Chain A
Amino acid sequence: MTTPLLTLDRVSRRYDGEGGSQLVLDEVSFTLERGAAVAIQGASGAGKSSLLNLIGALDRPTSGTILLDGASLADLDDDASSRLRAEKLGFVFQDHHLLPQCTALENVLVPTLARARSASEGASPAAVARAAALLERVGLAGHAHKRPHQLSGGERQRVAVVRALINQPLLLLADEPTGGLDRAAAENLVDLLVELNRETVLALLVVTHAASVASRLDEVFELFDGKLARPGG
């Protein structure tokens, strides 16, 4: 039996601010199998983004351990966690964070450079083909050479999703990926994610408010009062 892709063991996150401290995650334990597709729901401010940040090693828990693909995130230095993110994770931010000076296609290809060995080494032809294919899949074939300020909010969102997928990660962490999209576009995007989830090793951890999105995934969790639980459970 292989190890689970992701294991959270009594993970807590407390923010200390001027107005006192706030316990956002309270001893959350959770396991995600390889290839699973999970939705996380919760009220605004419930701590969904906080949870994704911890899993993506962008933040460290106040207590508890996180194991990703068998390795404890706490033990990784900057280089190692960078490698982990580049090779195993795909990130779709709530604020997409595209590079304004690069075109959509270039933005998609940027993660392939994270491990480039020389300054002149570019994305592999395979990566370029994949990027083009993915962009086409999300309906952006005609927008590949536009820069972010020339794209609509939803288009930017889709570029961010494609960027997260370019390195063929094991786990996609998506924070409201369909936030700015209309129903059709959202469906389309979810179709893509679900398809990739089925066809490849890609596991999904998607934060979403939309029930229509959540329902397409294997499992749904709700974050409430610092605890992660099945809805209604």
Chain B
Amino acid sequence: MSGGMLGWRLGGRSLVHPRRTHLGVAAGAAIATAVLVGALGVGDSLRHSLTEGALRRIGEVRLAMDTGERAFTAALADALTAALAAPGAPATAALHLNGLAIADGGRRRAPDVHVYGVEPGFWSAGGLAPRALGDRQALVNRTLARALGVREGDEIVLRFAAPSALPRDVPLGSDVTETRTVRVAIERVIDAHELGDFDLSGDPEPPRNVFVALSLLERGSGLVGRRNLVLATAPIDAGAAGAGSASPPIVPAALRASWRLEDAGARLRRLGPDGAWDVTSERIFLAEPLARAALAAAPGRAALTYLVDSIESASGRATRYGMVTAYDPIAPADSPPAPVPAELAPDQVVVTRWLADQLGVDVGDPLTLRYWVFGLNRHLTRASGHFTVAGVVATESKGGDRALMPEIPGLTDVESALDWDPAPELDVHPERLSDAERTYWREHRGAPQAFVHRSWALGAGGWRTPYGDVTSVRLDGRLAEEALRERIRANLEPAELGLGFQPVRDQALRSVGTGVASYFGYLFASLSAFVILAALVLTVLLFTFHVEQVSPEIGTLRAVGIPARRIRAWLLAEGAVVAALGCALGIPAGWLYVWLMLGALAGPWSGAVAGAQVAFHVDVTTPLLGAGVVFGVSVLGMTWVLSRRTRHQPHALLASRFGVPEASHWSRRAAIIATVASAVLALALASWGARASAELATELFFGAGACMLLATASAAAAYLMPAAERGRAMVTFARLGHLGASRRAGRSLAAITMLASGTFLVISVNAFRLGGEDRTAAGTGGFALFARTSVPVAPDLSTPDGLAALGLERLREVHILGLRLGVGDEASCRNLARPRHPPLLGVDASSFAARNPFRFAGLLTPTASPWTLLEGSDDAEVIPAIADEAVAKWVLGLGLGDTLEYLDDSGRPFRVRLVGMLKGSILQGYLLVDARAFAARFPSLAGHRVFLVDAPSGREDEVARALAESALADHGLTITPAAERLASFDAVQNTYLSIFTAVGGLGLVLGCAGLGVVVLRNVVERRGELAAMRAIGFSRRRLRRLLLVEHGLLLAWGVGAGTASALVAIGPTLAERGSVPVALLVSTALAVIVNGLLWTLVAARVALAGELLAALRHE
């Protein structure tokens, strides 16, 4: 038998055998493991459920091209689906429109409905069998069916905005968005696993979907032969996959090869048999890349044709509603001719014969153009230009033809000028036209009547619009059509025109993988950190007790010559085995905890996961990780304890029943120094915080609070190491208690720290609970209602004209601010996946600045008028933005000055820089930019979709009703009281706080249990001593009181330190509120004190209950 074995037999066994403390050590480790595994397991479950959900929504789709309002040709769709399909991996094209669904004869409406026109192959993209839909048949998903209260067989009407060729902002066409309807019968209600929740947006809420036959939607929307969605399921090679939200779209070879100009909304035609080539756009203005590509393809010139209100001579003669074309007089050789001389000056005009005759002007005469300048939101301002006539050319000469006038529905498509139906803002009155003007229209249609210099038009003239500044490009007519098309195409990237694929599956996975869901487990674990810590402290504490218990034995073993090293190894091995058992037991408990928490997340805490359905799923590695961490920390703690407890000399260990002295002068002094240092640091941080920005102040004050906690804990340590009261016999009852508490200073300190940090956390975190009237006023910005439409609203509801256009004249005193809404996935706290790109919200910076609503949490450059920051963009590539603080920080991970990349309508990247952060507001979920900057980048997203309504108080309901009954209903209006919307956001944060409080409360209970253990241990250990005191005349009652005083001191220190530090930490919040949350403070402190006293009493009773003599004899 080896020496080690013999030693073990004789010595080890005397130390290592089952004791009651082992139960405690194991229990502590088990609790810590259970809570940690549980928290991480909740995260696993959430991530798993969200991933599953995200994948269910996109089916098998890997690549998607979604061009929104800009449909492309079916020919391109066919080419793409043929090229991208692989055996077993189909591809399909569809039409996708947004609108609203109406049931029950208009009584029930569901806004924000996605209408998909699909071919049978669409379902294959979901891994399902192809399914042909009959002409009037529709499949609706469960969400929509529930929203509408409809069943199979019911009829519904789908209403959507007809994709508009015109930018809605340009008041040339009719002002009320044209909507179209289709009537369908519900064939079936389909579930998520049947692709019912198909959605590419990544929005956390399940979409409302309706699927109809593609042919039906083509006819119903007027988009015959058009598609705006291509889905492919074949795996893409990773190299092509862009990373992140704003990565350039993927352009497969097939797309590059088969797209045509028509897919970009461009048209190419020859003007007359041998005339020039004319490139125009369906949307009046040529997108900048298109114009550039066309001009680079062949010699040519750009034209901008503008509708002017009147053209006047000096004598006061005038013609009305004529077209004027701006040309660049200098053009490359071989460009098509234009009716302007090369030497035309910016203040000169060339007029047609007809106009010269009408006005009686000739070369050298002055001429005035009066016209409207297009602003945002169909705002028009009058402007004029003064010219000298530089020449007179024939009417409809070469380069002055009628084809220059862009196609404008309501103008170009009518036979007689009397039938003009332009927007009312233009103030056009066809009935006032003179006979000559009517004749001109009949004979020459919109042929321009005058020509000006392009540099004047784009400069002083103000003819440039956010949508472009070219209405037509005229190119050398000698080129063959195919060659010209090829050249233009060669100069264009499909992505520049919004054509390109996104790796939607990768994005969905990445967005779940990087969003809140990805770290929810850790978040939950950190919310539970206190319980875990408390349990670990308990484990180590109980292990310490065990070591203390056996220290006389250790002394004996050391005395008989067994090295301390070996004794430590025995004890550590024992502790490790016990901890490992505890950890192992903790794992199934952790599963149970996950299960319980998921129950809570489905019920009272559903706010934390935005109501997501979370199914139980724990990764294999999670229990190993959780148990491993707890085991590791426990063993580390035990090693530390052993190194401290076994280093004393054997005689000290043998005498340990007299209380091993723990306080040396040095450690007492160290504690005092630590106290002073942390207090000074706390003071410094607090005074810095008092002067720092609001954003920084919160963190500084929290830091100050933590330092305070450190200071009070060190002060407690110093207090617990009392200096001997030399020369004075200060023995009193209180001092006896103090001495008792300091008897095992380390243990007492552990209890104090546990209680203090628990109190600190519970109080300080709860102070951030949101709510209250003041908070509501700031968070709603003073607006009463928040409204959204699924179809953009063109009229500006902040003007009487805009209200009138929607029949809302009676809401004149109501202030309605319309905002432009970009595409993107919601970036509010409700989104657990990381939003790929939160929707931009275009706000009118100047009217916001005038009102100055909402409160700011931080600004990049401090100013009294923060909203004006949105206007100042020094860099054309970077536009300033404002976002909600919580969203920026937690959901997007952005700080002030950080930028986020977006792609504009033309697929060009631009960046958005965060210049301001709002305190929790109803605009959570959006990135706010100036409407002008928005319009310039997203001409296709014109019109307003979000409205902030400032209704007079008391009339909110009436206003809401008026809005709901107006023409806005056809735009898919949803109205939410602003306070309600705010509360729903606050619910997320408040739920986190509730979880924290509950789990923190659990930790406090555990902390109090720890105190109980300390008390019990203290009194049990001192039973002999207490019995001796009884023998010298102390009654039981008196001794109980002594123990209460002793442990009440610990409680008081703990609660006092925690509360005081918490008050420092929440200083700014308190200052803002102007009141101290007395109820919270008192209830927390009381809960801890009552709980702690209860434990103390129980322990004291247990210790003093037994027979006196037994206790005396029990040493």
CB distance from A12 to the nearest CB of B (A): 16
The answer to whether A79 touches B1031, judged by C-beta atoms less than 8 angstroms apart, is no
Distance to closest chain B CB from A140 (angstroms): 14
A196 at the binding interface (Cβ < 8 Å): no
Q: Is the CB of B729 within 8 A of A110?
A: no
Contacts of A164 in B (CB 8 A): 1032
The distance from the CB of B404 to the nearest CB of chain A, in whole angstroms, is 102
Interface flags, A140-163, vs B, CB<8A=1, else 0: 000001011100000000000001
Binds B, one of A61-69, A80-88, A199-207: A80-88
CA separation between A83 and B1027, bound complex, in Å?
15
Contact with B along A119-142 (1 / 0, CB 8 A): 111110000100100000000000
Choose among A82, A95, A101, A103 the residue that contacts B1033 (Cβ–Cβ < 8 A): A82
Q: In the complex, what distance in Å separates the CA atom of A59 from the CA atom of B737?
A: 27
State which of A84, A93, A111 has its C-beta within 8 Å of the C-beta of B1112. A93
B431 adjacent to chain A (CB < 8 Å): no
Q: Would A85 and B1032 count as touching, CB distance under 8 A?
A: yes
A78 in contact with B730 given A58-B1109, A102-B736, A145-B724 (CB within 8 Å)? no
CA–CA, A110 and B687, complex, Å = 48
A80 closest partner in B (C-beta): B1035
Specify which chain A residues have a CB less than 8 angstroms from the CB of B1115 in the assembled complex. 95
> In the docked arrangement, what's the CA distance between A84 and B1107, Å?
18
Max chain B CB contacts within 10 Å: which of A82, A87, A93, A112?
Answer: A82
Are A106 and B729 CB-contacts (below 8 A) given A78-B1035, A97-B1112, A100-B1025?
A: yes
What's the minimum C-beta distance from B664 to chain A, rounded to whole angstroms?
14
In the complex the two chains form, what is the Cα distance from A101 to B1033 in whole Å? 19
Contact B733 A120 (CB under 8 A): yes
- Taking A119-B733, A149-B655 as contacts, is the C-beta distance between A56 and B1031 under 8 angstroms? yes
Do A121 and B733 touch across chains, with their CB atoms under 8 A apart? yes
Q: Which residues of B contact A (CB under 8 A)?
A: 652, 655, 657-661, 724, 726-727, 729-737, 739-740, 742-743, 1024-1025, 1027-1038, 1045, 1107-1109, 1112, 1115
Closest to A109 in B: B731
Distance A109 CA – B730 CA, assembled complex (angstroms): 10
Given A103-B724, A145-B724, A149-B661: A91 in contact with B1031 (beta carbons within 8 A)? yes
A178 within 8 A of B: no
**Do the beta carbons of B732 and A121 come within 8 Å of each other?**
yes
Q: How far is the CB of B555 from chain A (nearest CB, A)?
A: 13
Min CB distance, B652 to chain A, in Å? Answer: 8
Residues of A within 8 A of B1035 (CB): 78-79, 82-83, 114
- Please tell me if the beta carbons of B742 and A114 are within 8 angstroms of each other in the complex: no
**Cα–Cα distance between A174 and B797 once the two chains are bound (Å):** 101
B1032 and A102 contacting across the interface, CB-CB below 8 Å: no
Besides A95-B1115, A147-B661, 10 other CB < 8 A contacts? A78-B1035, A82-B1036, A83-B1035, A99-B1025, A110-B1029, A110-B1032, A113-B731, A115-B1033, A145-B727, A164-B1032
Instruction: State which of A87, A118, A145 has its C-beta within 8 Å of the C-beta of B726.
Output: A145
Contact B1027 A97 (CB under 8 A): yes
Greatest chain A CB density within 10 A among B734, B737, B1033, B1036 is at: B1033
Q: In the complex, what distance in Å separates the CA atom of A165 from the CA atom of B59?
A: 92
A102–B743 Cα distance when bound, in Å, is 9
Closest CB in chain A relative to B858 CB, distance in Å: 52
Instruction: Give per-residue flags for A22-66: 1 if the beta carbon is below 8 A from chain B beta carbons, else 0.
Output: 000000000000000000000000000000010010110000000
| Contact partners of B737 in chain A: CB under 8 A | 119
Q: Is the CB of B1031 within 8 A of A97?
A: yes
Cross-chain contact B658 with A91 (CB below 8 angstroms): no
Q: Are B732 and A120 in contact (CB under 8 A)?
A: yes
Assembly CA distance A106 to B740 (angstroms): 13
Interface pair B734/A82, CB less than 8 Å apart: no
Does A168 lie at the interface of the complex (its beta carbon under 8 Å from any beta carbon of B)?
no
Known: A82-B1038, A103-B724. A111 touches B659 (CB 8 A): no
Interface positions of A (Cβ within 8 A of B): 53, 56, 58-59, 78-79, 82-87, 89-91, 93, 95, 97-103, 105-106, 109-116, 118-123, 128, 131, 145, 147-149, 163-164, 167
Q: Which residue of B is nearest A115, CB measured?
A: B1033
Q: What is the bound-complex CA distance between A145 and B726, given in angstroms? A: 7
B657 contacts which chain A residues (CB < 8 A)?
Answer: 100
User: Once the chains are docked, how many angstroms separate the CA of A44 from the CA of B1028?
Assistant: 22
Q: Using Cβ atoms and an 8 Å threshold, which residues of chain A touch B729?
A: 105-106, 109, 122-123, 128, 131
What's the Cα separation between A215 and B1030 when bound, in Å? 32
14 A–B contact pairs at CB < 8 A?
A: A82-B1033, A85-B1030, A85-B1033, A93-B1028, A97-B1031, A98-B658, A99-B1025, A100-B1025, A101-B739, A101-B742, A102-B739, A114-B1033, A147-B724, A149-B655
Q: Which residue of A lies closest to B1030 (CB)?
A: A82
Instruction: Tell me the minimal C-beta distance from B201 to chain A in angstroms.
Output: 69
A106 pairs with B1031, CB closer than 8 A: no
The smallest beta-carbon distance between A116 and chain B, in angstroms, is 6
Please tell me if the beta carbons of A120 and B1033 are within 8 angstroms of each other in the complex.
no
Residues of B within 8 A of A112 (CB): 731
Q: Is the CB of B1109 within 8 A of A111?
A: no
| Chain A neighbourhood of B661, CB < 8 A | 147, 149
Contact A118 B733 (CB under 8 A): yes
Q: Are A97 and B1024 in contact, CB atoms less than 8 angstroms apart? A: yes
Q: Separation in Å of the B736 CB from the closest CB of chain A?
A: 7
The complex places the Cα of A149 from the Cα of B1108 at a distance, in Å, of 24
Q: How far is the CA of A26 from the CA of B734 in the complex (A)?
A: 45
A228 to chain B, nearest CB (A): 20
**B731 pairs with A122, CB closer than 8 A:** yes
CB-CB under 8 A from A99, the residues of chain B are 736, 739, 1025, 1029
Instruction: Give A50's nearest chain B residue, CB to CB.
Output: B1109
Distance to closest chain B CB from A155 (angstroms): 12
Chain B contacts for A90, CB-based, 8 A = 1032
Contact B1032 A91 (CB under 8 A): yes
Give the residues in chain A near B1034, CB-CB below 8 Å: 82, 86, 113-114
Q: Which 8 A-B pairs have the closest CB atoms?
A: A86-B1033, A97-B1028, A100-B659, A82-B1035, A114-B1033, A149-B658, A85-B1033, A122-B732
Rounded to whole Å, the gap between the CB of A174 and the closest CB of chain B is 13
Contact A93–B1031 (Cβ < 8 Å): yes
Q: Is the CB of A101 within 8 A of B734?
A: no
* Smallest CB separation, A14 vs chain B (Å): 14
**Bound complex: CA A110 to CA B727 (Å):** 17
Minimum distance in angstroms from A212 CB to a CB of chain B: 27
Partner of B732, one of A56, A78, A113, A114: A113
Given the known inter-chain contacts A95-B1115, A101-B739, please indicate yes or no for A119 contacting B1045, CB distance below 8 A: yes
Instruction: Identify which of A82, A122, A149 contacts B659 (C-beta below 8 A).
Output: A149
**CA gap between A112 and B1108 in the complex, in Å:** 21
Q: Which residues of the other chain, A, contact B732 by a CB distance below 8 angstroms?
A: 113, 116, 119-122
Nearest Cβ on chain B to A42's Cβ, whole angstroms: 18
Q: A53-B1109, A122-B730 are in contact. Are A114 and B740 (CB under 8 A)?
A: no
**How far is A174 from B732 in the complex, measured between Cα atoms in Å?**
26
Q: How far is the CA of A122 from the CA of B657 in the complex (A)?
A: 27
Residues of B within 8 A of A106 (CB): 729, 731, 739
Which B residues are in CB contact (< 8 Å) with A121?
Answer: 732-733
Check B1025 against A97 for contact (C-beta < 8 Å).
yes
Interface contact B736-A59, CB-CB below 8 Å: no
B residues near A122, Cβ cutoff 8 Å: 729-732, 735
Chain A residue at minimal CB-CB distance from B733:
A119
The CA-CA distance from A90 to B1036 in the complex, in Å, is: 18
On chain A, the residues within 8 Å of B733 by CB distance are 113, 116, 118-121
CB distance from A91 to the nearest CB of B (A): 5
Taken together as a complex, chains A and B put the C-alpha atoms of A24 and B652 apart, in Å, by 36
